[in-house]
Chain A
Amino acid sequence: MISVIIIYIILAFFDPKNILSSVFKSIDILLQIWPVFIFIILLTAFINYFLKPKQILKYFGEESGKRGVFYALLTGIISHGPLYAWYGLLEELRTKGVKDELLIIFFYSRAIKIPMIPFSIAVFGTPFTIIISLYILLFAYLQGKVFSHLYHK
């Protein structure tokens, strides 16, 4: 954070107009995504309160199997907002025993964004949207498997 502020200060001397524009764009982004932050905080609290570690491990732990893969894909698809907004929650789940493989699957399956589907169809057409979505799911799964094999070697 400090490094970024320093970059802004330095650039402000050379290009104050663009830096001011950058600040406004950043504020704009923050205004767009703050509801996502609230949602994630509430979701984190929900998970901490209602889900016991045993349940988390049952669905996303080492023995979760195909069910874990399915839920990782599903939660990735329905998750919303920028990836960095989810880091805190995911890190917490990781400490509770969620498999790294499933995190990888979750990360990549987020490439399918349900609200973006109409945009994708409008710009690229339905065949493109369906095909790329299927490949995303396949490669999310493959990434998980490869990651698991390589990372824990």
Chain B
Amino acid sequence: MKKQNQPITLKFALIKALKSFISILPMILAVILLVGLFQSYITPDMITKLFGYNALSDISVGTLFGAVSSGNPIMSYIIAEELLNNNVTLYALSAFILSWVTLGIIQLPAEASIFGIRFTIYKNILTLLSTMCIAFLTTVTLKVFF
């Protein structure tokens, strides 16, 4: 018996959810294809060569490369470990692993298409600034207290 305060059936809810997902599936597939492309062309060796100058430079480069990278976050830690073994600073690595999961240049068009350009711009600028601040503060906090 249908409850009076449940206006939709479970079947309807499932179909609606599926339709909603299918509507954005082309964008999701496009993002996945771009990620595949990136993983084929950008190697950890390329990334290592760009670090090791100063805190601001390392944070900026780390943030940038995290932002253009994409994929399973485990990969960011694997790459970070390799970079750590090559004496890349914590400033760079904090920024890199953080921007890997919070920023995504590859998915910006999809994000703007769904949430609007204004929302996307504000969100990503705030995320960028936060990531750089956190990378700096985390490293400095560790140096001061540990």
Contact = CB atoms under 8 A, between A and B. Distances in A.
Interface string B17-29: 1101101101111
Interface in A13-42: 18-19, 21-30, 32, 37, 40-42
Contacts of B141: 131
A100 B119 contact: yes
A78 to B, nearest CB: 14
Interface size classification for chain B: 35 or more
A75 B35 CA distance: 25
Decide if the interface of chain A is mainly helix, strand, loop or mixed.
helix
A85 interface: yes
A84 B104 contact: yes
A85 B35 CA distance: 14
Interface string B80-99: 11001000001001100110
A22 B133 CA distance: 34
A44 interface: yes
B138 A49 contact: no
A111 interface: yes
Contacts of B1: none
Given A40-B21, A88-B21, A132 B134 contact: yes
A116 B17 contact: no
Interface of A: 1, 3-5, 7-8, 11, 18-19, 21-30, 32, 37, 40-42, 44-46, 48-49, 52, 82-85, 87-92, 94, 100, 104, 107-108, 110-111, 113, 116, 119-120, 123-124, 127-128, 131-132, 135-136, 139-140, 142-143, 146-147, 150-151
Interface of B: 5-6, 8-10, 13-14, 16-18, 20-21, 23-24, 26-37, 39-41, 70-74, 77, 80-81, 84, 90, 93-94, 97-98, 101-102, 104, 107, 110-111, 114-115, 118-119, 122-123, 126-127, 130, 133-134, 137-138, 141-142, 145-146
17 contacts: A1-B30, A25-B36, A29-B32, A42-B14, A44-B20, A49-B10, A85-B28, A87-B24, A87-B28, A89-B20, A94-B115, A110-B102, A113-B73, A124-B93, A127-B142, A132-B94, A132-B98
